[in-house]
A and B are shown apart, each in its own frame.
Chain A
Amino acid sequence: MKRLLLIASPVVALAVIATWAALGANTGWTKNRVQQTHTDEITGIEHAVWTERWVPGVDFLAVGLACSAGLLIASLAIRTRKA
């Protein structure tokens, strides 16, 4: 169990960081939708069209890394049985 937690901790950390980086490395809050700007011909009015898309932010990073740290602490709390 201790070993499992010791392995899981960095795996979770790497997975969280990789997911965050792959999906845009957003340094703001997690987004559920993004906007694209379109321009109306004749009038020149710019308007946003929203698209549902999950973009993880620093809150996702924080929660993920906190989970990783929790797994590490849990692994250290488990005493190794001496043979």
Chain B
Amino acid sequence: MKTHHLIATIAITALATALNAAPITFDFKDPKGVNNIVFQTDAPLESINGTANGITGSAVFDPENPAAVTGSITLDVKSLRVPNDAMQGHLAGERWMNAEAFPTITFEVTGASNVRANGDTTEADLSGNLTVKGVTKAVTVPAKLTFLKAKLKARGGSKVDGDLLVVRSSFAIKRSDYGINAGQQLDKVSDEIHLSLSVVGIAPYAE
């Protein structure tokens, strides 16, 4: 009798855990507008530093199974900002980002490896397809995902509560790989561009 009772308890607990551990869809269109990518590349006089905040996209993340994360992030190229107006004009121009013809940069996650979960924080290598200026390449980037349960209302900007997923990643690409004025002006602008992504996805609870 005691054994039956124990088995039943274990079964009910496992079922309850499975029901609670559903994947959650997070939206990266942040109402507070803090999602951003910082980019930096070396140049002779001073490094070129800029930001971009036109970020949208979504991710499906299961706190009980973080390795199964999927999703995509899209960046509006016209949201790229640098301190100098002339440089801003060149950046959006045809030889560099060609913002008119290629208005978005996207990263589509296809899988996660080397997953190390520690409480609400997961570090992993995210594999995916990065598309810049119409060129798509498979890349793997290190990322840190932090799940913040029931923190949406406390953060402000929402009348309902919900969960947050903070995603951070830093990696480098070569502009020559994506046709960004490839092979040109290497004495003025380095081929390597360092990118640092800091975004939060929101998942409001149903009202």
Residues of the A chain whose Cβ atoms lie less than 8 Å from the Cβ of B35: 45, 47
- In the assembled complex, the CB of A63 is this many whole angstroms from the nearest CB of chain B, namely 13
Assess whether B193 is interfacial by the CB under 8 Å rule.
no
- Give the top 10 A-B pairs by smallest Cβ distance, nearest first: A28-B46, A31-B83, A42-B155, A47-B34, A40-B34, A32-B85, A45-B198, A48-B51, A47-B36, A43-B200
- Could you show 25 A-B contacts with beta carbons less than 8 Å apart? A28-B45, A28-B46, A29-B87, A31-B84, A33-B83, A35-B51, A35-B83, A40-B34, A40-B200, A41-B155, A41-B156, A42-B148, A42-B154, A42-B155, A43-B148, A43-B155, A43-B166, A43-B200, A45-B34, A45-B199, A45-B200, A47-B34, A47-B36, A47-B53, A48-B81
Partner of B45, one of A29, A41, A47: A29
Q: Does A30 contact B (CB under 8 A)?
A: yes
Which one, A28, A33, A45, A55, contacts B81 given CB within 8 A? A33
Q: How close is B48's CB to chain A, nearest CB, in angstroms?
A: 9
Say yes or no for B68: interface residue by CB 8 A criterion.
Answer: no
Contact A46 to B198, CB < 8 A, known contacts A31-B83, A32-B85:
yes
A46 cross-chain contacts in B, Cβ below 8 A: 198
Contact with B along A24-40 (1 / 0, CB 8 A): 00011111111100101
A44–B198 alpha-carbon span in the complex (Å): 9
A73 at the binding interface (Cβ < 8 Å) = no
Contact residue range for chain B? 20 to 34
Q: Which residues of A pack against B, CB within 8 Å? A: 27-35, 38, 40-48, 50, 55, 58
Question: With A28-B46, A47-B53 in contact, do A42 and B151 touch (Cβ < 8 Å)?
Answer: yes
Instruction: Report the minimum CB–CB distance from B153 to chain A (whole Å).
Output: 10
CB of A48 within 8 A of CB of B36, answer: yes
In the assembled complex, the Cα of A4 lies from the Cα of B69 at a distance in Å of 73
Q: Is the CB of B83 within 8 A of A47?
A: no
Q: Whole-angstrom distance from the CB of A62 to the nearest CB of chain B?
A: 11
Q: Given the known inter-chain contacts A43-B200, A44-B166, please indicate yes or no for A50 contacting B46, CB distance below 8 A.
A: no
What's the least CB distance linking A64 to chain B, in Å?
17
Q: Which residues of chain B have C-beta atoms less than 8 A from A44's C-beta?
A: 166
Tell which of A40, A43, A44, A48 has the most Cβ of chain B within 10 Å: A43
Give Cα distance in the complex from A45 to B30, angstroms.
Answer: 12
Bound-state CA distance A28–B81 (Å) is 17
**Bound Cα distance from A40 to B36, whole angstroms:** 12
